[in-house]
């Protein structure tokens, strides 16, 4: 650490380095000391307290992420887009009142000038950066993170760092639950009992819907049954019921078509899962059943509502977090190894400050 005198009261001290997880190629990584980020004008630097490991991170680890082929991302890169922390420094043009505030942030950073950004759809900006994902914007798998102040969301006292790092996946899940557009007296089927599917089921239940889940096997359904979703099925056991809406939160190439098959005529299908290969949906069935199909990308429009739902206790996502590891534990997690002490939940968190 080096210090310089900022006035008569006390020295200003700056760490020479911070630790960060760096993905250097498919299946290759290091945990290194790197220069600490400095806030550019309009930016803040955050002390990162929690980061969620996401399926997108795994795709970068395996080399399967489409952005690598499309030129939107390249190794080496710093992952991490589900995060929470505390603001420690501000750049030019950022109010000092941000210092010490507990925050999370939007992953999608539009250019602020295009037609989509001006319409409030910066998450669809063609020139966007994505924290830890796209455009060379470093992610949160480090002790510190630099992000635009405009992307920040303040966390109330009732939303701690663990919940804060679940806001981004929660925002995705809330949006797909809203797209299903069901409430009391209506029945919805969620395909996929993973992180997004489980969160979507929690939001749908909070809206009063009768929630069913479909998983690939009985063991895969154990976790959601532990959340109180007793109506959890495999394809072999799925009852012949009318579903007013179906949510596809899987990466299975054939399930988008199954979602359309299972939904009631006049119902809604909400798609948020992405398969590695193109899915086939018969638009004749879509038309003849008069079904509304909606695709969901990004948590951006639902971040504030997700924080409010967590703060009020309307939705409690804590059981999803199976374990928390340090930066040295990230590589094995990305390689598919669950920590020995992990519970049953689908989400692994990282504490970059842990020794």
pLDDT in tens, 145-167: 999 999 999 999 999 999 999 99
The answer to whether residues 91 and 151 touch, using CB atoms and an 8 Å cutoff, is no
pLDDT class for 6, splitting at 50, 70, 90? very low
Give percent of the chain above pLDDT 90: 94
- Residues 263, 195 share a domain: yes
Out of 15-19, 78-82, 178-182, 202-206, pick the least confident: 15-19
Length of the chain: 355
Query: Model-level pTM greater than 0.85?
Result: yes
Q: Which of 265, 295, 325 is the last residue before a domain boundary?
A: 295
Residue 268 is inside which H or E element, if any? Answer: strand 263-271
Mean pLDDT on 257-269: 98
- Residues 149, 35 share a domain: yes
Q: Residue 9: is its pLDDT beyond 50?
A: no
The answer to whether residues 130 and 81 touch, using CB atoms and an 8 Å cutoff, is yes
Q: What is the pLDDT of residue 8?
A: 38
How many CB atoms are located within 10 Å of the residue 124 CB?
Answer: 17
pLDDT digits (tens, 9 = 90+) for 204-229: 999 999 999 999 999 999 999 999 99
How many CB atoms are located within 10 Å of the residue 195 CB?
Answer: 26
Q: Residue 5: is its pLDDT beyond 70?
A: no
Distance in angstroms (rounded) separating the CA atoms of residues 285 and 281: 8
For 335-349, b/e burial (b = at least 16 CB within 10 A) is: eeeeeeebeebbbbb
- Residues 202, 117 share a domain: no
- Residue 161's region, left for phi above 0, alpha for psi from -120 to 50, else beta, is alpha
pLDDT digits (tens, 9 = 90+) for 104-128: 999 999 999 999 999 999 999 999 9
- Residues 141, 32 share a domain: yes
Q: What is the pLDDT of residue 11?
A: 40
pLDDT class for 14, splitting at 50, 70, 90? low
In a domain, 5, yes or no: no
In a domain, 3, yes or no: no
Q: What is the pLDDT of residue 276?
A: 83
pLDDT digits (tens, 9 = 90+) for 24-45: 999 999 999 999 999 999 999 9
**Domain assignment of residue 179, given as a range:** 170-295
In a domain, 124, yes or no: yes
- Residues 152, 67 share a domain: yes
Q: Residue 4: is its pLDDT beyond 60?
A: no
In a domain, 302, yes or no: no
């Amino acid at each position: 650490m080096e210090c310089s005198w900022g006035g008569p009261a006390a020295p200003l001290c700056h760490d020479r380095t911070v630790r960060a997880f760096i993905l250097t190629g498919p299946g290759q990584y290091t945990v290194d000391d790197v220069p600490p980020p400095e806030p550019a004008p309009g930016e803040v630097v955050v002390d990162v307290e929690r980061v969620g490991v996401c399926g997108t991170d795994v795709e970068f680890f395996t080399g399967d992420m489409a952005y690598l082929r499309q030129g939107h991302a390249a190794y080496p890169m710093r992952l991490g887009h589900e995060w929470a922390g505390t603001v420690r420094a501000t750049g030019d043009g950022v109010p000092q009142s941000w210092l010490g505030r507990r925050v999370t942030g939007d992953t999608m950073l539009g250019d602020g000038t295009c037609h989509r950004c001006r319409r409030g759809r910066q998450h669809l900006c063609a020139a966007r950066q994505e924290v830890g994902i796209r455009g060379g914007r470093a992610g949160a798998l480090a002790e510190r993170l630099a992000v635009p102040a405009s992307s920040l969301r303040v966390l109330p006292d009732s939303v701690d760092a663990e919940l804060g790092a679940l806001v981004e996946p929660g925002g995705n899940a809330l949006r797909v639950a809203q797209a299903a557009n069901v409430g009391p007296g209506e029945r919805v089927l969620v395909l996929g009992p993973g992180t997004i599917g489980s969160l979507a089921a929690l939001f749908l239940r909070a809206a009063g819907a009768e929630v069913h889940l479909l998983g690939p096997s009985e063991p895969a359904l154990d976790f959601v049954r532990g959340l109180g979703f007793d109506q959890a099925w495999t394809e072999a056991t799925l009852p012949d019921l009318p579903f007013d809406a179906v949510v596809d939160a899987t990466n299975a190439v054939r399930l988008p078509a199954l979602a359309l098959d299972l939904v009631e005529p006049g119902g809604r299908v909400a798609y948020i899962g992405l398969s590695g290969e193109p899915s086939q949906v018969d638009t004749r069935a879509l038309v003849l059943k008069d079904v509304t199909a909606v695709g969901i990308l990004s948590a951006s429009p639902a971040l504030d509502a997700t924080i409010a739902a967590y703060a009020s206790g309307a939705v409690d996502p804590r059981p999803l977090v199976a374990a928390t590891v340090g930066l040295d534990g990230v590589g094995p997690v990305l390689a598919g190894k669950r920590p020995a002490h992990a519970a049953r939940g689908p989400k692994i968190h990282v504490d970059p400050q842990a020794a």
